[in-house]
Amino acid sequence: MSVTELRPNGRTRPPAMSASKEAAEAEALRAKTEAAKAAADITNQLKAAKAAAEIAKGEAEAQEIRQQSAERAAETARRRAETEAAREKAQHSAEQWKKYAKAIAVTCVIVSLPLQLMAFWSPDAPFLLAAPLVLEGLAWALLKGAEAAIDEARPSWHYRALAGAVALFAAAVNYLHGSAEFGLGTGLGGAFCSLAGPMVWDLHEHGRILKRDGRKSRRERREEARRSAAEAIEKQAAEQREADDREAREVNRSVQWPQVWERAVALAAALGELHPGDATWKRAWDDVEGATLGDTAASISTRVAAKAAVKDAANDLAKQGERVEKPQVESQVVTPAKSTRVRTPDGRRNNGGTPPVRRAGDTLGYSPVARRAMSLTARNQRQTRAAG
């Protein structure tokens, strides 16, 4: 309830507005309401469009994440399948290689053993027929010893060396006897078979040793060497870029803030640093400028002055807005009754600026509610001054 509505009874009320004026005000209010409603609808539509755009963006991001996850899963499955296929292929190849090595060894024994038997046969010493069996058996026994040593992660080179020596002796026997009895071709064939069987099996065992010890092939070693060289070159380039950046930073600091740079160099020498680090530079800045890194006395003064100017401008703008506001005196006074006295115009324009004579009834009187409010305000002010 406003102060104007609390006027005492018996006072004169303002005259009623005309019908056309009421209609105009009603039309203006309706137009204002429609404009506000239209503005609210536009705002809601903008909010809905923004929310829809955000939802669409979130769905697109979620779809992209799901797609990336599916691609990673497919790539992982593909690599796993390739690894499994490579493992199965390697296992199959190893099994085939072992079978072929055994087949070649048996075939070589079939070819070389009869030649050795004929070489050691003598009617006077039939017991020498056991010599070829001893040679072949000894060679293969030594190779089995090498296999056992490989399985148990023991040295196997001496087994393989002895097996090679026995095979070489058997090859010499086959070559000499075969060449003398059946010709050079037979001698060479027998010697080759005596050596080929143990050599093929020894190659098989050599591969098992490499696999056990994790040795890399020559191709893998060359690839690793190339990769290491590329990494070394990249590391050297990165170190060079870092050194160039540090040099440029030091030059910039020495040019922009020479006093701080001298202090930083002194601190770095005291701390045993070849180049002033970030912590050393921060400490030197605090020693010289006495402020946080990046601030100086001039920059702080400029910032404080700018903030004060902005605050003064804001206060001036607020005071200017208060001066242009309409005073609230009219709502506190009572509309006077119609007076029969004819008010004369202000004559200060023609009498040298002398104000007109004031008479009783010229000033509008305050309503009782306004007088009560002003009385309470004055009393509160007196009590505040007395307490102070």
Q: Delimit the domains of the chain by residue range.
A: 21-214, 216-256, 258-317
- DSSP annotation of 152 reads T
For Cα atoms 202, 206, 210, give the angle at the middle one, nearest 5 degrees.
175
Going by pLDDT thresholds of 50, 70 and 90, the confidence category of residue 346 is: low
Tokens for 189? 């064939």
* CA 50 to chain CA mean position, Å: 28
pLDDT at 183: 81
The whole-angstrom separation of Cα 197 and Cα 213 is 25
- DSSP letter string over 236-271? HHHHHHHHHHHHHHHHHHHHH-HHHHHHHHHHHHHH
The contacts of residue 102 (CB under 8 Å, 6+ apart) are: 201
The whole-angstrom separation of Cα 95 and Cα 89 is 10
Query: pLDDT tens, 47-56?
Result: 888 888 888 8
Number of residues in the chain: 388
Report whether 120 contacts 129 (CB < 8 A).
yes
State the amino acid at position 196 in one-letter form.
Answer: A
Number of H helices, E strands in the chain: 9, 0
CB atoms within 10 A of CB 226: 10
The whole-angstrom separation of Cα 230 and Cα 237 is 11
Query: pLDDT tens, 56-112?
Result: 888 888 888 888 888 888 888 888 888 888 778 777 777 877 788 778 878 887 777
- For the chain, the distance separating the N- and C-terminal CA atoms, rounded to the nearest angstrom, is 35
What are the backbone dihedrals phi and psi of residue 21, each rounded to the nearest 5 degrees, phi first?
-65, -40
Report whether 273 contacts 280 (CB < 8 A).
yes
Question: Of the candidates 285, 246, 278, 294, which has an alpha carbon nearest to the alpha carbon of residue 262?
Answer: 285
Least confident window among 139-143, 151-155, 367-371 = 367-371
Query: pLDDT tens, 222-279?
Result: 888 888 888 989 999 998 998 888 888 888 888 888 898 988 888 888 888 888 888 8
Q: HSE on the CB side for 288, CA within 13 Å?
A: 21
The position carrying tokens 């691609």 is 71
Residue 334 has pLDDT above 60, yes or no: no
Question: Of the candidates 115, 99, 141, which has an alpha carbon nearest to the alpha carbon of residue 194?
Answer: 115
Residue 45 has pLDDT above 50, yes or no: yes
CB atoms within 10 A of CB 205: 19
Residue 208 has pLDDT above 60, yes or no: yes
Give me the mean pLDDT over the 311-320 stretch: 77
For Cα atoms 169, 171, 172, give the angle at the middle one, nearest 5 degrees.
65
Report whether 160 contacts 146 (CB < 8 A).
yes
Burial 238-269 (b: 16+ CB within 10 A, else e): eeeeeeeeeeeebeebeeebeebbebbbebbe
pLDDT at 331: 46
